[in-house]
Amino acid sequence: MFNNPSDEEIRRLLENTRRIAVVGLSPKPWRDSNAVARYLLERSYEVFPVYPTHEEILGQKVYRSTAEIPGGVDLVDVFRRPEFLPAIVEDGLAARTKAFWFQLDCVSEEAALCASSQGKIVVMDRCIRVDHARLLGRKWPSR
């Protein structure tokens, strides 16, 4: 059975991460994925949207897969339904990402165990924005 990392491990992950692929980053500003990506950009992370359409979201070039991102990423933050998570993990593993973050309601034991068996850090069914604010003491910007 999969268990999330401790708060200390998550804090270290967030402190050591600079480049984040956001899979399922919606161009719609009212969507959670968009608000979270804006939050990450405001905290000086490099954000790479992964989305099937659009050429640019939040001023960032859009990619169709994590493996397409030049220079790779440190973390893959996922806003997709659970049935898509195994394929997203395969793509992230091919891109040699170090960690996966499955947002709230993104739950797949299969995908989490696959990634963690490859030595990757996995956080599942948690919001990166909430944990970042809680663990690193940063206030959320107003919308």
Q: Give the CATH number, domain containing residue 74.
A: 3.40.50.720
Give residue-wise pLDDT tens across range 84-115.
999 999 999 999 999 999 999 999 999 999 99
Could you give the count of Cα atoms lying within 13 Å of 83 in the half-sphere of its Cβ?
0
Per the domain annotation, does 28 fall within a domain?
A: yes
Are the C-beta atoms of residues 21 and 48 closer than 8 Å to each other?
Answer: yes
Note the pTM of the prediction, 2 decimals.
0.93
Per the domain annotation, does 1 fall within a domain?
A: no
Per the domain annotation, does 58 fall within a domain?
A: yes
Q: By residue range, what is the domain housing residue 72?
A: 7-136
Give residue-wise pLDDT tens across range 25-76.
999 999 999 999 999 999 999 999 999 999 999 999 999 999 999 999 999 9
- Structurally, the chain folds into a number of domains equal to 1
